[in-house]
Structure formats: C-alpha cells, structure tokens
Structure 1
Amino acid sequence: MTVRKLTLMAGIVSGMGLSLGHANPAAAQAYKVDTVHSATVFRVKHMNTSYTYGRFNDITGQFALDEKDAKNSHLDIVVKTESIDTANANRDKHLKGTDFFNAVQYPTISFKSKSVTKSGADTFKVHGDLTLHGVTNPLALTVTRTGAGKDMKGKPVAGFETEFAIKRSDYKMNKMLEGIGDDVKIIVSVEGGQ
C-alpha cells in the first residue's frame, strides 16, 4: 500500500471521529478503600421501642467519582459479614448465625454500581446492585463526595458518604420481624487512597 493511500485512509478515519493507535482518555483514577478510615453503620428498631445500632468493621473495595464526566465513575464495595459489631458478643454471634446474616454461607455483602450520573455540586446518583444474604436487588443511592486532598505522605485521598434504607425481608432475612424491625437504615462513609 502506498504512502498516499495510507495518508488518505488516515484522513478518512480521522474525519469519522475515530483514531488509529490512540487510546481513549483515561477514566477517573480509582481509590482503594481504606478500611481503617471507613465505616458501615446500621440502625434497626428493637421491639418497636428503641433503635439498636451496629457496624461492620471490615469494608474493602474501590471507587472513582469523576466530577467532569460521571460516566467514568464507579463504586465497588465489599463488607465482610463476620465483622459485624453491635458491642455485645452474644448478640453478634446470633446475628452471624443462620437466623440472620448466616456469615458462613454468605460471607460478604456487596454493592456494585451499574451507572453514575452527576446530581449536584458534590452529589452523584448511583444505580447498582446490592447483594446481601445471597439475594441481589437493585439499589439507587445518593452519594456525596465529602472531600479530596493528600494524606500524610502526599498521596491522593478522597472520600464519600451515602445514607439509605432497605427492608431486610427483601433479602430473605425474615426471622423475628415482630421483635426486630424490617426497615434498616445504613450509612456508608468511605475514605480511599491511591
């Protein structure tokens, strides 16, 4: 093939908005979840009287929140069910058992985004799938970017928080619904680094 034909082909490809040998612009830089500075906290009503709070101490994953082009954003969060902590060892043991989380059969709770759109100055609408107790349901989150900067070593860090509610019965956690509420409020606050 002559140089002239190659030049003509490159011009046609360029005119069609395509490129030869050039990658698309890089997606937003992902941050790895910092387990030590992240939290998953939940609240559920006890005996229709007061709220009991708990948390999961092991949260991992990665995320990217691209303010310029939200399509480059994603959330991929995993929580270990075994790490549940309600400040009561006997209750935690019960919650890890087959009546509730069944941590042996279902060792993780996960959220994986499918689409992200910008919804405000620091907020994103995130649609994805929440998998809990072996059941996967769609979930829409409002995610707030809580900050970005550099850590003590000068490396980039960023954070986000989201607050949402689920019904545990939607995830086949049906035990003791008369004594322990169906509605569960959850707050996920994450810091990540590179």
Structure 2
Amino acid sequence: MLKNTLAALAIGSALFGAGQALAADYVIDTEGQHAFVNFKISHLGYSWLYGTFKEFEGQFSYDEKNPQASKVKVSLDTASVDTNHAERDKHLRSDDFLSVGKHPQATFESTAVKSTGAGTADITGNLSLNGVTKPVVIAATFIGEGEDPWGGYRAGFSGSTKLKLKDFGITMDLGPASEEVELTISVEGVRQ
C-alpha cells in the first residue's frame, strides 16, 4: 500500500510539473556589450539626435510557453549618457534634463507582460527617471535563443517606447518637434 501511495504521488508530481512551464532567469550581458539602451530625439524638427546609456545592468525571466509570467528589471547610470558630444552630454547631465547629481539611477521594473502575437509582447512597468515614476509600455520582440560557443545559453529581445519629457519633470523647451524621446532597447541575456 505504501508503495502504491508513493508511486501515485510520484506520478501526480510528474504530471503536475509537466503541466507547468518554468520561467528561465537571465542576466543581461552588458560586459560583452551585447545589450544597448539607445534613444533618439528630434533636433528642431530637422534631424535626429542619437544617444546611448553606456552603463546599466539588469535581469529578466522568460517563459516561452507562458510569456505573461515573464519579468524584467533594469537599472542604469544616468551619468553614462553619451551623444558623442561632450558639451551636450554635460548639459544632459544637468538639472535641465537628467539631474544626475540628485537622481544617479533610472530604473524599470515590469508589472505585466501581455502577448501581442507570435514573438511579440507589451511589457508594462514602472519607469523611474529624474525623480519621477510613471507606468510605461515597451513593445518587445523576441529575437532568438540558443546555446553560445562558451557552454552557456542565451536569449535576446528588442523593445521600444516613447516618453514625453515633461512627464518625467524635464521642462527644458526644445521646441514642439522635441517633446518626445524614443527609447530603443536591445538585450541579450545569459541564462543562470
């Protein structure tokens, strides 16, 4: 009887476990420079100004069978902003824009993931930037996953969102064409 009970428990556990997909945890590969947080904003309505944040870290959980169970958490060093122009970067770090002295970190933490199609999802989360926290939605696309040449396993995603500067306390008047900034994120994570 004990043997039958143990066998039943083992079978039940196996069936229950098989029905549940488990999310895999990944650390974003910033050391290998396989991740980017870039932005662009209109310059007077005549051209695009591009920039990046060079220092950030984060992790994500990804469950292919149940994308809604996925999670993302990223923090970046606002002083690492780089637009390839030293004086402009100094101005971006000032209180007119990122106020890096008061707010050295920007963070994003997901609160929900909603599948929007094959390999795409909307990631809703709280973005804290310049001392303001607001919900934003990142339109994400799954790029691919698989083994790497060093014995690890990787998964990659891209995403984008648009932010209104004034929503995050940035009131510097750059003209009507420059009220929004577009963020583009590309990450490759190493499974833990």
TM-score normalised by length of structure 2: 0.84
Asked if structure 2 preserves the Cα contact closer than 8 Å seen for 1:111 and 1:130, the reply is yes
Q: CA deviation at 1:142?
A: 1.7
SS in 1 for 2:88: helix
SS in 1 for 2:100: coil
Aligned with 1:163 (options 160, 163, 186): 160
What's the CA shift string for 1:98-152, capped at 9, x where partnerless? 1110112111111111111222111122111111111111112221111111222
* Structure 1 segments unaligned to the other structure (5+ residues): 1-6, 8-13
**Which aligned runs of 4 or more in structure 1 are off by greater than 2 angstroms?**
22-27, 176-180
Aligned with 1:120 (options 113, 117, 120): 117
Aligned with 1:51 (options 29, 48, 72): 48
| Residues 1:88 and 2:85 are matched in the alignment | yes
- 1:17-96 matched pairs, under 5 angstroms: 27-35=22-30, 36-96=33-93
Letter of the structure 2 residue corresponding to residue 165 of structure 1:
K
Asked if structure 1 preserves the Cα contact closer than 8 Å seen for 2:21 and 2:65, the reply is no
Match of 1:152 in 2: 149
- 1:172-187 matched pairs, under 5 angstroms: 172-178=169-175, 181-187=178-184
Match of 1:131 in 2: 128
| Residues 1:110 and 2:107 are matched in the alignment | yes
| Identity value in percent | 36
Asked if structure 1 preserves the Cα contact closer than 8 Å seen for 2:21 and 2:66, the reply is no
CA distance in structure 1 between the partners assigned to 2:61 and 2:179 by the alignment = 32
Asked if structure 2 preserves the Cα contact closer than 8 Å seen for 1:39 and 1:190, the reply is yes
SS in 1 for 2:99: coil
User: How many pairs align?
Assistant: 180
Q: CA deviation at 1:26?
A: 7.1
Q: CA deviation at 1:77?
A: 1.3
SS in 2 for 1:68: coil
Q: CA deviation at 1:186?
A: 1.0
Asked if structure 2 preserves the Cα contact closer than 8 Å seen for 1:46 and 1:179, the reply is no
What's the CA shift string for 1:83-108, capped at 9, x where partnerless? 10100111111111111101121111
Q: CA deviation at 1:177?
A: 3.0
What's the CA shift string for 1:14-54, capped at 9, x where partnerless? 9xxxx9xx999574111101112101111111223221111
CA distance in structure 2 between the partners assigned to 1:141 and 1:91 by the alignment = 27
TM-score normalised by length of structure 1: 0.83
* Structure 2 segments unaligned to the other structure (5+ residues): none
